[in-house]
A and B are shown apart, each in its own frame.
Chain A
Amino acid sequence: MATRIATTIPPPLQSRLRMPIDTVLFATTLALIAFGFWMVFGTSFFQSMDSAKMGNDPLYFVKLQAKGVIVGAVALWFTMRTGYWKWKQYAIPLMLATLIILCAVWPFHLPGLAIRENGAWRWFGHGALRFQPSELAKVTLVIYLAAMYARPGLRVRVFETGFLPPLIPAFLYFLLIEREPDLGTAMVLFLSAGTILIVAGARKRHIALFFGIGVLAVLLFGFGFGHRGGRMSTFVNPCINRDYGGDQVCNSLYAVGSGGLLGEGMGQGKQKYLLTQANCDFIFATIAEELGFFRSSLVIGCLLLIGWRGFRIALYTKDRFGSLLAAGIAAVISWQALINIAVATGSIPATGVPLPFISFGSSSMLFLMAGIGILLNIAQHPEGEPPQLQRRRV
């Protein structure tokens, strides 16, 4: 409610309607990032210390993460200071640019720019200057869909002309990212797009159709055929099927279970030495192991808090674009966190997505922080674009 009763604030020069910063959202984000540093260190120092490639530096991953956070902070500053309505006019160019980059990585494997790692084409860039286009897509897709469904005159309840056309590039996104392969991120994008559709007021039967297609696709791509065929059995009994790909999930379950209610104590986790993605996709396993049920529930609470602030901003923003944008960004963060935790606790079949703000990964950090910046900006302008600026532009 604090953001609404802010009438006593002296009006700044550029906008009389500008509200103070959403401190709860901002502080929670910073707290999670700080906590993330500690967890990244705890889950990676032994690995980097043993690796000559990483300079035997226990802080190797922490330093990389710090770089991501610094770039992310700049991005956050920039997006927070930029009126969110400006993104509307760049929605389609951004969408197209992202599509081009995604295509460059897969299926074109653009030499010199597309980078393959661990058998997947997920990186774009050259040398150290690189990022994951799928992370960029999380932001640009949300901006694009919000801009499309907020367009005056678009009738979202009409299937052919309103509901469907903006979704065509979205499905291209899903396909390109799924084929990298990065099923986890594709799922996050899909669920977020679905959330935007719900918030945008689409018809229930259309939404049902959308999710139906998603479930079908996941069944087809995820469990239907190919090397992921054994996923279902490894999901049900990861520890029995250790040799058939259940190893990671089993180790993660062991970690979560070992934590018990009170946890092993910070830095006392053992399973992190066995988990191959301990500092990224499975960082929550170590959190649960070291903190225990009560305190790791607090971490979940913080993530929920960010989601709540996001949807709250969506609720109190009068501008439809801002509302959809805020809901979309909150959805991306929430779905990503949900999938990550669900995988770590063995609640859904394994698929790798980083835990927002905590997992190691500069791309994820950069675009998520940019997203938080946008959210903060929307929160500052509950009335939408200030009228004097609208006038000037006209």
Chain B
Amino acid sequence: MAGRGTVPGETVKHRVRYSFGMIASLYGLLVLRMLYVQGVQGDRLKAEAEDNRKHTVTLAAHRGSILDRNLRPLAQSRYTGAVGFDPLTLVTESGDPRKAAMFEKRLKRTAEVGARLLSSTPEEMRRVLLTERDHYRTELAIRQATHPGETQTPTLTRADRKGLNRFVILRENVSLEVAQRVRAAGLMSIGVQDDTTRSYPNGRDVAQIVGLNPGGGDKSLNGLERSQAKWLDGIPGKAVSEMDKTGRPLPDTRHVLKQAREGYDVVTTLDADIQHLVCQEAAEVYRKYSPAGVSIIVVEPQTGDILAMSGMPDYDPETFLNDPVYRNESVKSGVLNASCLTHLFEPGSTMKAITIAAALDQKVISPERYFNCPGVITVDKRALRCDKHGGTGVHGSLNFEGILRQSCNIGSAKIGMEMGATRLYKGFENFGLFDKLDVQMPMFPRGRKIMFRPSDPREIMRQGRIARVAFGHSIGVTPLHVAMAYAALANGGKLMQPRLVAAVRDMDGKLLKTNAPKMLRQAVSAETAAIVERGLRAVVTSGTGKIAAVPGYTIAGKTGTAKLYKSNEFVGSFAGFLPASPDVKPRVVIYVMVDRPKGSYYGSDVAAPAFQHIAAQLARHLHMAEDDPQSVQYKTAIEKRKLQARGLAH
């Protein structure tokens, strides 16, 4: 038996049992192994598995727009996708001819459809695709060559591909439409990456106010983009769910879904049209006189709304974002700030109207009180002169109207000295000149009481200081302060809170927050304001501001020429409003300030013409009714004559 082993017998039988026993015990081992994996390691593996499947996707929040008062966008986020190409989808792994044919077909189709989608030619597209593919292949080959011990076979592992660019950008800044068409084409090799870019349709006009948001994210540089970030930025959402190997979410595995809260729109009080013409004018002045700076503000007196605000030199947002040299220079020269809000200067003669208004209101002087101007007086052992275009002028006896019309330094100095430091300070304070005028912009200073501290007894003693303050020297304010003070005069003495941000609304247009116009205080009584307005009208009709006159309209305004301390440079300015008839509510206050112009420097020469241009255009733009009595009478007469000629009137 033992020697033959050719017949079925005992040997085979016990061998069958033995074989089955071996297989059965292996099954048993596997069951034990499963008990270990499932029972002992189960919880750990389950947690690891879930971690491995779980992916978090950030749902980007749309950033809100900044709008002007007519809801036209000043800054908005728009879709800019990038179309890219995955070279791996065209890299053949082996020399298999069928595979190669398939890849060739894919390449052909990608080139054709891609060219159609991206408006290119198939040949060009094919060339680009092949170049990128070959580049990728070379990179891959280098990696495989340096892979230890893996030189024999061309198998691609995930580690080999790690870090290689699989999104070669073909087109940037494509529109949402193109992006959707590319997605719909369903090409294996071409995909889209979504992105948004901040665009500024009004360019440099509103650049300083609106500011910049370079990355389109939550990092803003300046302006409203920065100060209103809490409204503009939405809250990004996130979705955590388990995903399969292609990145699709698995059914019933959503762990967290928090929708993004879209950003809110900020509605400003600016008017893009007015802003544009103001900027044009500021640029023109800047070009003509090459000053250190030009600031122009247009304010609506009744509400305190800032309709336009321009500061030269300014910057171009597009160039700023794209040109690093330009960017560095711009940042260094400080043009990112809105100079109307940040530039502190000595305002000069425009303050005379404020001094007089305060004096009249506090009954220190009466409108009929006359002051004598001898051309030069000595206060605190220092000579104080009146300019009369090129020399010392003797203005003679003047009441407040005359002082304003002739811009008499000595007259207003006398009024100031008569008031005394405390009352003058009180008067200026009432006009908000020392207030922090909050327009919700980042970085702006309050008006400075520099060199003017009435609490300090020595200051009170020094009449020279008071005299200078009375005509606008030795005091630091911003252009906005001057504009708001004049707006108070135009608004029956009511000083309004300047307003730049009118409302915040959500994407559907629902208002979330409104900044209603707010009166700060009654700076002077309505009667006083009317009296001063009379004086300011005289400045334009027969005084230093004649050049600011606009045919058909009554204008109230005041020139200002301030000499800089210890330097032979000047600041020329003009503040005024229209229409300024006694019974009409002024529509706009315009303040033009030219800092250190070259050549001519009088406010009446450098600032008043700019005021005139802006006022004339605004009158048309805002459809202001003509209010100049002479012009109205003349026009009525013409109309009447026309009608008579046609036999329609008596």
From A152, A195, A271, B19 is in contact (CB under 8 Å) with A195
Chain B residues with CB under 8 A of A261: 38-39, 42
Q: Does B331 contact A (CB under 8 A)?
A: no
Contacts known (A258-B46, A307-B24, A311-B20); A152 close to B153, Cβ less than 8 A: no
List A325-351 residues whose CB lies under 8 Å from chain B.
327, 330-331, 334-335, 338, 341-342, 345-347
Q: Does B30 contact A (CB under 8 A)?
A: yes
Chain A residues with CB under 8 A of B12: 199-201, 320, 323
Chain A residues with CB under 8 A of B52: 254
Contacts known (A254-B45, A300-B31); A307 close to B20, Cβ less than 8 A: yes
Complex Cα spacing A293 to B8, Å: 40
Chain B residues with CB under 8 A of A346: 37
| A288 and B8 contact, CB distance less than 8 A | no
| B39 and A229 contact, CB distance less than 8 A | no
Q: Does A82 contact B (CB under 8 A)?
A: no
Beta-carbon nearest neighbor of A273 in chain B: B244
| A199 and B24 contact, CB distance less than 8 A | no
Report B252 CB to chain A, min CB distance, Å: 8
Q: Does B650 contact A (CB under 8 A)?
A: no
| A297 and B4 contact, CB distance less than 8 A | no
Report B508 CB to chain A, min CB distance, Å: 36
| B150 and A293 contact, CB distance less than 8 A | no
From A195, A304, A323, B27 is in contact (CB under 8 Å) with A304
Interface residue range, chain B: 35 or more
| A243 and B250 contact, CB distance less than 8 A | no
List B148-183 residues whose CB lies under 8 Å from chain A.
149-150, 152-153, 155, 157-159, 162
Most A CB within 10 A of own CB, among B20, B41, B53: B20
Can you list, as one digit per residue, whether each of A50-88 has a CB less than 8 Å from chain B (1) or not (0)? 000000000000000000000000000000000000000
Chain A residues with CB under 8 A of B8: 318-320, 323
Q: Does A226 contact B (CB under 8 A)?
A: yes
Report the count of interface residues on A (CB-CB < 8 A). 68
List A152-167 residues whose CB lies under 8 Å from chain B.
152-157
| A293 and B33 contact, CB distance less than 8 A | no
Can you list, as one digit per residue, whether each of A294-312 has a CB less than 8 Å from chain B (1) or not (0)? 0011001001100110010
Chain B residues with CB under 8 A of A341: 30
| B30 and A314 contact, CB distance less than 8 A | no
Beta-carbon nearest neighbor of B4 in chain A: A155
Chain A residues with CB under 8 A of B33: 342, 345, 347
| A226 and B153 contact, CB distance less than 8 A | yes
Report A297 CB to chain B, min CB distance, Å: 6
Q: Does B3 contact A (CB under 8 A)?
A: yes
List B13-44 residues whose CB lies under 8 Å from chain A.
13, 15-20, 23-24, 26-27, 29-31, 33-35, 37-39, 41-44
Complex Cα spacing A318 to B13, Å: 10
Complex Cα spacing A335 to B23, Å: 8
Q: Does B633 contact A (CB under 8 A)?
A: no
Complex Cα spacing A252 to B20, Å: 28
Complex Cα spacing A121 to B37, Å: 34
Chain B residues with CB under 8 A of A46: 244
| B24 and A315 contact, CB distance less than 8 A | no
Chain B residues with CB under 8 A of A112: none
Q: Does B96 contact A (CB under 8 A)?
A: yes
| A227 and B245 contact, CB distance less than 8 A | no
- The prevalent SS among residues of B at the interface is helix
| A260 and B244 contact, CB distance less than 8 A | no
Q: Does A38 contact B (CB under 8 A)?
A: no
Most A CB within 10 A of own CB, among B45, B94, B159, B162: B45
| A304 and B24 contact, CB distance less than 8 A | yes
Contacts known (A260-B39, A260-B43, A345-B30); A155 close to B5, Cβ less than 8 A: yes
Chain B residues with CB under 8 A of A320: 6-8, 12
Complex Cα spacing A270 to B51, Å: 12
Beta-carbon nearest neighbor of B162 in chain A: A243
From B19, B93, B242, A327 is in contact (CB under 8 Å) with B19
| B38 and A256 contact, CB distance less than 8 A | yes
Chain A residues with CB under 8 A of B162: 243
| B42 and A315 contact, CB distance less than 8 A | no
- The prevalent SS among residues of A at the interface is helix
| A259 and B6 contact, CB distance less than 8 A | no
Chain A residues with CB under 8 A of B5: 155-157, 200-202
| A154 and B6 contact, CB distance less than 8 A | yes
| B96 and A116 contact, CB distance less than 8 A | yes
Beta-carbon nearest neighbor of B49 in chain A: A254
Beta-carbon nearest neighbor of B48 in chain A: A254
Q: Does B253 contact A (CB under 8 A)?
A: yes
From A119, A226, A257, A304, B94 is in contact (CB under 8 Å) with A119
From A154, A260, A315, A342, B17 is in contact (CB under 8 Å) with A315
Beta-carbon nearest neighbor of A312 in chain B: B20
Beta-carbon nearest neighbor of B96 in chain A: A116
Q: Does B11 contact A (CB under 8 A)?
A: yes
Chain B residues with CB under 8 A of A260: 38-39, 42-43, 46
Report A228 CB to chain B, min CB distance, Å: 9
Contacts known (A198-B19, A297-B31); A270 close to B250, Cβ less than 8 A: yes
| A345 and B19 contact, CB distance less than 8 A | no
Chain A residues with CB under 8 A of B37: 253, 256-257, 345-346
Q: Does A245 contact B (CB under 8 A)?
A: yes
Complex Cα spacing A154 to B5, Å: 9
Chain B residues with CB under 8 A of A274: 53, 244-245
| B23 and A331 contact, CB distance less than 8 A | yes
Q: Does A108 contact B (CB under 8 A)?
A: no
Chain B residues with CB under 8 A of A195: 19, 23
| B38 and A288 contact, CB distance less than 8 A | yes
Chain B residues with CB under 8 A of A293: 34-35, 38-39
Complex Cα spacing A245 to B158, Å: 8
Most B CB within 10 A of own CB, among A156, A226, A258, A300: A258
| A270 and B42 contact, CB distance less than 8 A | no
From A239, A243, A308, A311, B48 is in contact (CB under 8 Å) with A239
Contacts known (A270-B49, A304-B24); A243 close to B159, Cβ less than 8 A: yes
Contacts known (A198-B18, A270-B250, A347-B30); A244 close to B159, Cβ less than 8 A: yes
Beta-carbon nearest neighbor of B40 in chain A: A257
Beta-carbon nearest neighbor of B98 in chain A: A116
| A273 and B245 contact, CB distance less than 8 A | yes
Can you list, as one digit per residue, whether each of B50-63 has a CB less than 8 Å from chain A (1) or not (0)? 10110000000000
Complex Cα spacing A142 to B285, Å: 103
Complex Cα spacing A319 to B9, Å: 10
Report B602 CB to chain A, min CB distance, Å: 78
Q: Does A255 contact B (CB under 8 A)?
A: yes
| B20 and A308 contact, CB distance less than 8 A | yes
Complex Cα spacing A271 to B162, Å: 24
Complex Cα spacing A48 to B35, Å: 33
| B44 and A201 contact, CB distance less than 8 A | no
| A153 and B34 contact, CB distance less than 8 A | no
| B45 and A258 contact, CB distance less than 8 A | yes
Complex Cα spacing A116 to B20, Å: 36
Report B25 CB to chain A, min CB distance, Å: 11
From B15, B27, B48, B93, A198 is in contact (CB under 8 Å) with B15
Contacts known (A243-B158, A293-B39, A320-B12); A227 close to B19, Cβ less than 8 A: no
| B48 and A201 contact, CB distance less than 8 A | no
| B35 and A201 contact, CB distance less than 8 A | no
Chain A residues with CB under 8 A of B24: 304, 307-308
Q: Does A292 contact B (CB under 8 A)?
A: yes
Given contacts A46-B244, A320-B12, A345-B34, 20 further A-B pairs with CB under 8 A are A227-B153, A244-B159, A254-B49, A258-B42, A259-B38, A260-B43, A271-B49, A273-B245, A274-B53, A292-B38, A293-B39, A297-B34, A303-B27, A304-B24, A307-B24, A308-B24, A323-B16, A334-B27, A335-B23, A347-B33
Q: Can you list 8 A-B pairs, Cβ within 8 angstroms, ordered by A?
A: A156-B5, A157-B2, A270-B242, A271-B53, A273-B250, A311-B20, A315-B13, A347-B33
The 5 tightest CB contacts between A and B, nearest first, are A257-B45, A254-B49, A273-B244, A311-B20, A320-B8
